[in-house]
Chain A
């Protein structure tokens, strides 16, 4: 049934083994960071030996929402803001599947914000990869919940006057089992963070700092993709450094790595244990 058996978990990582090559070329803009995030995700999937047949990718609407379709797995492209809610049903119904949500800053924090809060609180075993490009790219460049202050977008012609969301702080406060952030330029570190999320038994929220060169970068004179991701790199401070320096980070830096982790029980297992007890079965 599975004609193209993957070398999951073994051999060198070949991204093409995990892509729907007949859909290439993809439709992301030149310089878009989403492709790097996709590669890092598939690299992590490969290194963990996750079977593509049991891999479910759920995504919402926007540029991030179109990434999932390129993955050779069970892919679901659902309504705007709702991939976490859809994934909650899928994972509860099919605990045997590895469920990954790919979402964006608008999809996850604006229209889908309520689902994020409650997915964190519930702590069901889902990995949520939020590709943060700081803008609504698909609809032409409108301000998003993570657009930095004073940035120009098509709906902030005088500069954004709203503060940006710190999604990781939100996820941690809402109770996510594992919270992390990484930039695309650090691809091996991003792969490692995604692996940590995939291996974690509970809800993991991972923010990937992507870059929207064509729409956001151009409008704000942020340069080409290389300059944008270099700016992210110079802005970032790995969380691990906090333990080897007694100097606090300067404000407004991008703190990366695993930012929070807890040992709260995973929701699905808890529900199934209670249900088994009701049926008089021993766990």
Chain B
């Protein structure tokens, strides 16, 4: 494929990114504002030898994705808030049984059915803590159509490399935004495939720890005949309640993400070196914040923007470095203050952290951010 420029919706960019990443199975259920991802996948997948299936509900969709991925095929689903809530138990299974998969959550207003056609960023904490127990997660927050495309490819790569579910969080504005993007040159695209088990099946332990913390995956049909379960399991894959085994198994899941923060974390810094007022924003809100920071700079205010692209695990060290000279941090987001909690946890003892929160189904206006930057600079 040669590099071409084309106008794409955020949702279509997600589908095309998935196809480029090697996704060959999609199971989904209709839900606004993510349905165009499923619709595009239903057209694209058969053309590349993949499979699309519309399942009977949100839970079936993620369960089918886990089945397809267990069979060795890169797989994804897409949804919005209510569906994301329904999928949580199986996202936990994906984390526990180490089944790679990608879940796109196009955020809309909540709680409950909420405002289906209006944007929000209300699932930041659900992405982190939505399923029960201590489970690792990677969540990415693209801020443009191009970035939806790129981060969808990256989501698959991370999912395959770390055998873990990866969540794409964007919102109704980006999902329906039309922007010109250049599709990847497939020849130079770096794609990651999970490491498959090789060698003798006799002593093979499917969940044995490795140097990377990520065990190679046995592919059905290759002769390993292993057991996969959501019950806490030992290195042999069979359930155990032995305290040392339970500790080891759970800790390895957490460590395999924690120990690879350098690879997983992605973020952008704009004018942060001397920033006295630091804005921390993600997704569509970061675009308003970027404009506001530029305007504040023009007014002579030392403002800067820290934009996490990987929101979980949160780029903690990078944020602290960006906030080194900050007197105040502003966190604009389309919820009542979810990421602000994390920023307060990381920087709140040294610096004042304020939110700029919209819960009215409207995107944040750059002028609002500029105004609050000015107020913080004056204090």
Contact = CB atoms under 8 A, between A and B. Distances in A.
B65 interface: yes
Contact of A92 (B64, B93, B221): B64
Interface of B is mostly: mixed
A279 B90 contact: no
B220 A279 contact: no
Given A2-B201, A82-B90, A93 B228 contact: no
B180 interface: no
A69 B229 contact: yes
B80 interface: no
Given A89-B63, A93-B75, A271-B51, A72 B25 contact: no
A169 B24 CA distance: 36
B47 A77 contact: no
A176 B201 CA distance: 37
A159 B25 CA distance: 47
B53 interface: yes
Given A53-B223, A88-B60, A93-B72, A1 B229 contact: no
B242 interface: no
Contacts of A278: 46-47
A72 B228 CA distance: 12
**Of residues A20, A86, A118, which shows the largest number of chain B Cβ atoms within 10 Å of its Cβ?**
A86
Interface in B249-295: none
Contact of B27 (A54, A89, A117): A89
Interface residues on B, range: 35 or more
A87 B51 contact: no
A78 B163 CA distance: 17
B66 A86 contact: yes
Contacts, number: 151
B200 A94 contact: no
A160 interface: no
A69 B231 CA distance: 12
Interface in B27-76: 27, 45-47, 49, 51, 53, 55-57, 59-61, 63-73, 75
Nearest to B52: A271
A240 interface: no
A22 B1 CA distance: 51
19 contacts: A1-B222, A2-B201, A20-B227, A52-B225, A74-B226, A76-B228, A78-B67, A82-B90, A85-B59, A88-B27, A89-B69, A89-B70, A92-B64, A93-B67, A93-B73, A96-B221, A114-B56, A271-B51, A275-B47
Interface of A: 1-3, 20, 23, 52-54, 56, 58, 69, 72-79, 82, 85-94, 96-97, 114-115, 117-118, 271, 274-275, 278-279
Given A2-B201, A86-B63, A93-B73, 17 more contacts: A1-B200, A1-B224, A2-B223, A74-B220, A76-B67, A82-B90, A85-B63, A88-B63, A89-B25, A89-B68, A89-B69, A92-B51, A93-B69, A94-B71, A115-B60, A118-B56, A279-B47
